[in-house]
């Protein structure tokens, strides 16, 4: 991992949770994902392959699921 002034420049993140029906995920521009979820109540299970500066369009990893 590389760090500059206490800010990670690269990293790996692992998320763990129980597998459940209705769990969806998506990566991409934050506004697109917010609109996707608001319109459909779920995400599209797709990854964003468009490379760009993160400061231009904030890129996020999102997941949603119903509480058990």
Query: What pLDDT score was predicted for residue 7?
Result: 67
pLDDT in tens, 9-61: 776 777 777 778 888 999 988 899 999 999 999 999 999 888 777 667 778 88
- The secondary element (H helix, E strand) that includes residue 32 is helix 30-40
* The length of the chain, given as a count of residues: 68
- What three-state secondary structure class fits 34? helix
In contact, 47 and 27? CB cutoff 8 Å: yes
Q: Does the global pTM surpass 0.85?
A: no
């Amino acid at each position: 991992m590389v760090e500059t002034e206490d800010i990670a420049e690269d990293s790996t993140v692992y998320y763990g949770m129980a597998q459940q029906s209705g769990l969806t995920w998506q990566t991409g521009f934050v506004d697109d994902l917010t609109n996707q979820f608001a319109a459909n109540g779920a995400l599209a299970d797709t990854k964003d392959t468009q490379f760009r500066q993160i400061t231009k369009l904030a890129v996020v990893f999102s997941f949603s699921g119903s509480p058990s």
